[in-house]
Amino acid sequence: MAGINKVIIVGRLGNDPELRTMPNGDSVAKISVATSTEWTDKTSGEKKQATEWHSIIAFRNLADIIGKYLKKGSQVYVEGKLRTRKWQAQDGTDRWTTEIIADQLQMLGSSNSGNSNNNWATEPAGNPPPTNPYNHVMTDSESRDFDDDIRVRWITKEQAKQFINNISTDWMKTICSFALLTGARRTEILSMTWDKIDFIRKVAIVSNDIAKSEKARSLLLNDDAIELLQKQRGKNPKYVFVGSKGQALQDINRKIFNKATEKCLLVDFHFHDLRHTWASWHVQAGTPLFTLKELGGWETLEMVKKYAHLNADHLLNHANSVKF
């Protein structure tokens, strides 16, 4: 007998919804909903409470409604299914994250509460969520976040300069600058060692245990990247990018990163968007998509087509073929 996969959650949003758009145009929304359990301690007689957080993902129609009507503190009733996805920590171990894929949602306590039918939203039957809107295995330890490869968020060169200037520590400035210069992923940067860098050939080798595709690749280094790496010499005998005291790093400093984005008024901008920015600049400069695929280490051309709209010059001649 097949098991039943059914979840019902009633709670409040801990933050505003996170909204994304997949390459095919489908909307995706992620919300964190808190539920509370109360009980009386048998020994002390005191009332106690425990709060649990649940990660809920919605697609298409539900995602659009969530983005339009819900905000931090909104109370919701959600029906959905559990889905577990696999990701990979920086140490190479496999981890799993369980999320709720929403099928139905009701907004509680809204101005329409007198007519509960108006507060219901349902994903149309026969329109299942994508089987894998994320990469199957994630090397990025931010497993709670959406896979940034389903969205494109980039900034201009002027915004990038302002962002770098507003980073409060030199070591974070260096890491973010290198990401903008090379398109390297966070884990590729933090795990980079001196024995993997060839200054003569101007490449850094990303080994298969670090590469997202699990295939070794060459990270090409332009002159500015080489100059940046030269300044890192002598700070640590093994690791290229280190903290203020020369120590190896497990992660970037997110508070420093977010503070810099706030000063620059950059909304919904994450570290992986530095890679998107690098790729976007390449496309705007005329770099062919196939070349960009090789430079960025993407496995397929489909993965870089999301940048194609940034350079539509090749379509202009065809657009001018029809006139009224």
- Among residues 212, 217, 276, 306, the one annotated as catalytic is 212
CA 184 from chain centre, in angstroms, equals 14
Please say if 186 is a catalytic residue.
no
Distance CA(104)–CA(317), nearest Å, equals 47
306: which DSSP letter? G
Please say if 298 is a catalytic residue.
yes
Please say if 71 is a catalytic residue.
no
The overall longest dimension of the chain from CA atoms, in Å, is: 84
* Percent composition of the chain: helix, strand, coil (DSSP 3-state, to 5): 30, 25, 40
Please say if 272 is a catalytic residue.
yes
CA-based nearest residue to 120, from 81, 63, 65? 65
Degrees, nearest 5: CA angle 266-256-244: 145
- Among residues 20, 54, 185, 270, the one annotated as catalytic is 185
- Among residues 186, 217, 270, 275, the one annotated as catalytic is 275
Buried b (16+ CB within 10 A) or exposed e, 71-98: eeebebbbebeeeebebbeeeeeeeeee
Please say if 154 is a catalytic residue.
no
Active-site residue numbers?
Answer: 185, 212, 272, 275, 298, 307
